[in-house]
Homo-oligomer: A and B are copies of this chain.
Amino acid sequence: MTKTVISPWEVEGDIDYKKLIKQFGTTPISDFINNKLKDCHPLLRRGIYFSHRDFDKWLKAHSEGKKVSVITGRGPSEKMHIGHLVPFLVAKSLQDNFGCDVYIPISDDEKFFVKKNLSFEEALKYSEDNILDLIALGFDPKKTFIFQDFVYTDIYKYAARIAKRITYSTAKAAFGLTPGKNIGWSFYPAMQAAHILFPQFHSRKHISVVPVAIDQDPFIRLTRDIATHKDFNLEKPAALHAQFVPSLHGGSKMSSSGEGLIFLSDDAKTVKKKINKYAFSGGQATIEEHRKKGGNTKVDIPFQYLKMLFEPSDEKLEEIKQEYESGKMLTGELKAILIEKINDFLKDHQKNKIEAKKNLDKFILKN
């Protein structure tokens, strides 16, 4: 990989993502929406969420004083890394800015069905651990509902009602089922739709928005169809579609395996090592060349991480951009900024996670 490679999630991405909007039949984020999100998390105001369904309706409903909510889930099959946080940071930001409820389904059943070697006990263990990571983000306990399929088993009642309206053929098409896959997997599409509609089952009919990666849109569409079935008579859920979060290596989607992951449990030394060793740089090959040509922020992972997640100040980000592109700031200096930001975040996060244990009961829905 050389500096001339343009990563798919940035320059090429600009093109691909437009294509994806066309392909999936979704709507680009409008100025109206951008304006409403101008005080939100960088993920929402810097173009990472680039497409939507009915999010304008969500905003309008909110401005009319109607109830709105956010729903975003977690499939717990491992300890969480930074990439996993993306939809939850969005949910928290929407809660902070619009005062709305946030629903977080924990699909331990899905992971159990899909991961061959994941035991039932492990699925429960990861749920417990991941839930603490989510609470540590600072959600409002009065407005946040975390429900785990193997704990809040009443979700089965809702999933069953939906399951009656999804044929195996339909589920097969949307979820790529094959006859050799287990029947838990066959049923899961109903459970997922139940998660997405749960805010309305739990409260009342209203628009709930789902922040998802664009490739998840077919499931949203399936659920939107179900919502308006006469059995349910609910609002179609809205969606906010994200680009893929790059891995440290610069790949287009932060994968769950490999070395390019920063776990929420990593210590400062580990983070420093990982960023320095693995974070794909848009800098030049030598200091001399870098001083002359400057770095490419479009492909530089440390810069992208600052932009997406770790530098909330637009002014500071712009300053870093100019210094890096002009060659004034070196790759090592840029990485040092990110390392410090991440370690500050993780230090707080790890402390908050210990605190979270005390508040668990305030967040967890029980049968």
Contact = CB atoms under 8 A, between A and B. Distances in A.
Interface of A: 109, 112-113, 119-120, 149-150, 153-157, 160-161, 163-169, 171-172, 177-184, 186-187, 189-190, 231, 367
A343 to B, nearest CB: 39
| This chain: copies in complex | 2
Given A184-B190, A187-B184, A168 B164 contact: no
7 contacts: A150-B157, A153-B153, A153-B367, A163-B183, A164-B182, A168-B177, A172-B179
A120 B232 CA distance: 11
A183 B166 contact: yes
Nearest to A109: B160
Contacts of A171: 183
A168 B180 contact: yes
**Interface core residue of A163, A178, A181 (most chain B CB under 10 Å):** A163
Contact of A168 (B120, B156, B157, B179): B179
A153 B150 contact: no
A167 B113 CA distance: 11
Contacts of A168: 168, 177-183, 186
Contacts of A169: 179-180
Nearest to A150: B157
Contacts of A178: 168
A225 to B, nearest CB: 14
A162 to B, nearest CB: 9
Contacts of A367: 153-154, 367
Contact of A160 (B113, B179, B181): B113
A189 B109 CA distance: 17
A137 to B, nearest CB: 28
Contact of A164 (B172, B179, B184): B184
Contacts of A189: 183
Contacts of A166: 182-183
Contacts of A181: 167-168
Given A167-B183, A187-B187, 4 more contacts: A120-B231, A150-B160, A153-B155, A183-B187
Nearest to A169: B179
A1 to B, nearest CB: 39
Contacts of A154: 153, 367
Contact of A179 (B119, B157, B167): B167
A208 B3 CA distance: 68
A333 B217 CA distance: 71
A156 B149 CA distance: 9
A186 B168 CA distance: 7
A169 B186 CA distance: 11
**Interface core residue of A109, A149, A155, A178 (most chain B CB under 10 Å):** A109
A165 B181 CA distance: 9
A118 to B, nearest CB: 9
Contact of A163 (B119, B150, B160, B182): B182
A153 B157 contact: yes
List the 9 closest pairs (A to B, CB-CB), nearest first.
A163-B184, A187-B187, A153-B153, A156-B156, A367-B367, A169-B179, A186-B186, A153-B156, A168-B179
